[in-house]
A and B are shown apart, each in its own frame.
Chain A
Amino acid sequence: MNAPDRYERFVVPEGVAKVSYERDTKIINAASFTIEREDHTIGNIVRMQLHRDENVLFAGYKLPHPLKYKIIIRIHTTSQSSPMQAYNQAINDLDKELDHLKNAFEAELARHSGSQSRQY
């Protein structure tokens, strides 16, 4: 009834950054990133990627509320790195990995469809 509109789930409102960064005042090398209009899909994958990073001491995300369409990712790193760096790296790595996945998939698909067309 008074649920938010559907588009709220993916349209970032004007004047709001997609990703905002907030440093944690109490702990060194810790920060939280608020990503607007995303949910577990992104949250989980980013977190798991962050977990692979040796320098990341803590990485967690949460969806504050099912009807608030944003996630908050918290990162705590060693002094060798910084949350921002770790976050960027994780994103880049994910990007590459997914690219790779996509290419591999397409290549395979092409091979497969090629072989199929050859068959017929």
Chain B
Amino acid sequence: MEFKVEAHRIMSISLGKIYNSRVQRGGIKLHKNLLVSLVLRSARQVYLSDYYQGVCLNAQTMDTAQPWPPGETMDSELDENDSREHELPHEVGSDVRTSTPERPGSPVPALLNDAVAAPQPVAPPQLPSRRCSNAAAREGEANATRECGALGGVESDSDTPSNPPAASFCRKRRSCEKMTTPPPESPLKKIKQQQQPTATTNTTTTTTTTTAAQELPPPVGDGEEEMDTSNVSSLISIFGSSFSGLLGKESPASEPGAEDSEPDPPSGQICCEQVLKNIAPWSTAIVAF
């Protein structure tokens, strides 16, 4: 458990550093950002593997809720995040998302590439809610497979650099809603909430890692989920899409396959499985349910 907390803290700090490097004098330092991204990757691996173990344990013991540390409320984070919704985190996330995935051993988010090669200021991201509705609309017509495959990685059809992470997060939930029967949705949400580790007191960095907290519907029924690090969780999943090449056994070569043209359009069920595979740590829990 301590590893998870530590890993989470290190991830927050790393993201803060990547952010700050963009405004530093002299331009982005490639070396330092590469090292920071390596740390971020290591921390994320520990974080996810720790979570994965925790979830397995929970699944086995049928224990659905973990106690939350007091004092961390999602609402307060949401308030804080409101003002920051359009700021850096979107830039960070959006730049990361523009990285065409996933080759193994590619720790450097595309933001560095963008920044070093052609650092135009990132276009102000649109409101996430709007994006979500676009996503939903697109979902209606688009090939479900393509989306599912794209969820693990970057939507190949998206050319705009300022694709907020909210979109992907929204879509993950919605596609799951669509594809699966309702019950898995709440476990999914529950598991998401369970995944949220104790946030550290490093508020400045945690707020910079906010993403689409507003997108998540408030937790249902469960009186214990006050805390939030859904922000970091979202970021993790987003980074997961960029770093999935580094995940090794978690998202193997099937992912690039999913990125590219699907050989046969899978049914909704298989599609969901693919999505779940991409949301690696949650897959086992959902299967258990």
Please determine whether chains A and B interact with each other in the same assembly: no
Which B residues contact A (CB, under 8 angstroms)?
none
Which A residues contact B (CB, under 8 angstroms)?
none
